Chains A and B, each alone.
Chain A
């Protein structure tokens, strides 16, 4: 199988304000794959997600990121989004005054416009999202509220995956989507994510705990510690980590699959 990778991270070094956080990341993601990144606090997981999404405030000092052959780091965040990069935020922000449905329709139409597809009007949009809402067990009322305003933690996370379902990205980065969720909410979110998996898209699941990976089964697990990927393995690696803790990996020599 000689597929072209969807995302190639080559020797990525990055940090903030003179502090190095990522110290040489190499990662290759192919379409149809689910990759998990696990690591202790401060390992650089969220930094990696932020840099891929294009958040300001980070400095890339070395390395390259290719997305579908494009130089990802050269693109503005909205351009990356229109090319099919989606970040499910760890802490989704509230936007008072901006209606959720209106917001999502605007986003979808930007992406459709970029792809050369026709924009959806309000009726078409509502029809599209109705079924996706059911998938994530979201109450239709939620869409009438301003973006994330008054949403519970669980609702916010489900809303992120709901948006993912509507925007249909090629690369979905899930930044600690399981944090703050109880087991039931977790199952709903995971089921949603699984339903969205296809042969032509890729999911990058960033998580601190193994628990989520019981429901979202990864093809590859990478362990990130202190800005470096120390080890890559299959889904069993996650279980081993759960059992033995991060120190076990840190004390070993780096092994990549």
Chain B
């Protein structure tokens, strides 16, 4: 049995420990995936027929696909039959105090400057100020309702706004798009749904934190964001605290629809999934399909991400620039340390005229980390007058890590412009010594230099996220300089 299968088995058994001691009826199903499981999921969630059909179609298609192998990451084979695909949303096992939490975790919380209440929430300790979080969330919901913004869990959206879901689900990432998207489409559990009506600038940053949902983070999350003409929303996904989950494989799908003219969606991610231990054991596989479609003229979609976690990351947030003059942006910092592997990048597909895209990818490799940038800039025949600017910079810390760049450029008209710059650098000993000689420790010097390296990307993050991201980078790079 492969290590991955053993690990999944181990974790699967753990679930029963936390299990349903108060419920008579066990609300999980045995491991394995087949059509009945898909039907069961849909039934349990009380979904309308269109969605069940959609899931089944996706599942049947998944069966015909083979797991992709072209990427530059290596992992033992995943046994898809060993996972449990349905578990009723249940409260996390509640601990009584922070003393019961893994001290390593607490140390990280401290370094990240995470408040006590937040620490409790993240580690499953009963939050004293329950009233506070409920009231905060309530005020928040009121403000949104006032302007007509819909922000709720995906499951809620299926019940309350099935028409919107039916119209746009799969419109950006069709179920047949790729192996993991197909799997996700068949068995997705929950996620976020967001709809911004015409002319509305969403009054606050939306974040997964505010989604009232006591469920464990799903293995197969599904998110859909729709912005009408002139609408604007900034959405924050993720968490700087190390997210440990029972499931090793995470295959989420995120679809952004910049529907109307001048609509704009800004999607920021700071992700710190459990990266595995110093020897590369354990760790989450983050295989996610994220894509945005700029349908409206002059619409805009920006992806900003800081990825420091996961044992293996495989994601290419992309933008299809359909509307004329639309803009796609991708700003990314990806860090790999110890034995982490990342194959990440973006796809910018220029379909409309005068479309623009900007790609700034910063890869930092430390330890034995392997960082791969894979990007596609495709300018279609009728995308006259389009422009792309790409910058891929790699920073290598130490001599056992690696950085590889795989840029793909396809231009099918003669009036467009594509610029690609790339650089690879190390932090020089002279630079570290200069900092030392001014009283700055080597670790602080590395942090300073790495932050300088990532500045352009951090600038694009909403403020609090940027501060957390900087701290996170510092914590993740600790001990990386020998």
Contacts and interface: CB of A to CB of B under 8 A. Distances in A.
Nearest to B430: A93
Q: For chain B, which range describes its interface: under 10, 10 to 19, 20 to 34, or 35 or more residues?
A: 20 to 34
Given A55-B433, A93-B428, A93-B430, A163 B438 contact: yes
A35 interface: no
A95 B434 contact: yes
A103 B448 contact: yes
Given A93-B428, A95-B449, A96-B452, A54 B436 contact: yes
A81 B431 contact: no
A89 B440 contact: no
Contacts of B449: 95, 97-98
Contacts of B433: 55-56, 77
A82 B448 CA distance: 18
Nearest to B395: A97
A98 B448 CA distance: 7
Contacts of A55: 433
Among B433, B437, B439, B444: residue with most chain A CB under 10 A = B439
B429 interface: yes
B438 A167 contact: yes
Given A56-B429, A103-B448, A106-B444, A97 B453 contact: yes
Nearest to B452: A97
B452 A81 contact: no
Given A78-B441, A114-B439, A97 B434 contact: no
B434 A81 contact: no
A167 B437 contact: no
Nearest to B455: A97
A245 interface: no
Given A56-B429, A106-B444, A97 B451 contact: yes
Contacts of A5: none
A77 B437 contact: yes
Nearest to A81: B439
Given A97-B455, A98-B449, A77 B436 contact: yes
B438 A95 contact: no
Contacts of A103: 435, 438, 440, 448
Contacts of A89: 434, 437
A107 interface: yes
Nearest to A97: B452
Contacts of A56: 429, 433
Contacts of A94: 431
B430 A81 contact: no
B434 to A, nearest CB: 5
A189 interface: no
A78 B436 contact: yes
A87 B433 CA distance: 11
A106 B428 CA distance: 19
Interface in A61-103: 76-78, 80-82, 86-87, 89, 92-99, 102-103
A32 B292 CA distance: 68
Nearest to B429: A56
Nearest to A112: B439
Contact of A82 (B434, B439, B442, B453): B439
A206 interface: no
A89 B435 CA distance: 12
A78 B442 CA distance: 8
A118 to B, nearest CB: 16
A76 B443 CA distance: 13
A93 B449 CA distance: 13
A146 interface: yes
Interface string A108-120: 0011001000000
A167 B452 CA distance: 23
A221 interface: no
B479 to A, nearest CB: 16
A53 interface: yes
Contacts of B436: 54, 76-78, 81
Contacts of A98: 448-449, 451-452
Interface of A: 53-56, 76-78, 80-82, 86-87, 89, 92-99, 102-104, 106-107, 110-111, 114, 146-147, 163, 167
18 contacts: A53-B437, A56-B433, A77-B433, A77-B436, A78-B437, A78-B442, A81-B436, A95-B431, A95-B435, A95-B452, A97-B452, A97-B453, A98-B448, A99-B452, A103-B448, A107-B438, A107-B440, A167-B438
Interface of B: 428-431, 433-442, 444, 448-449, 451-453, 455
List 6 A-B pairs, minimum CB-CB distance, nearest first: A97-B452, A107-B438, A77-B436, A81-B439, A110-B439, A98-B452
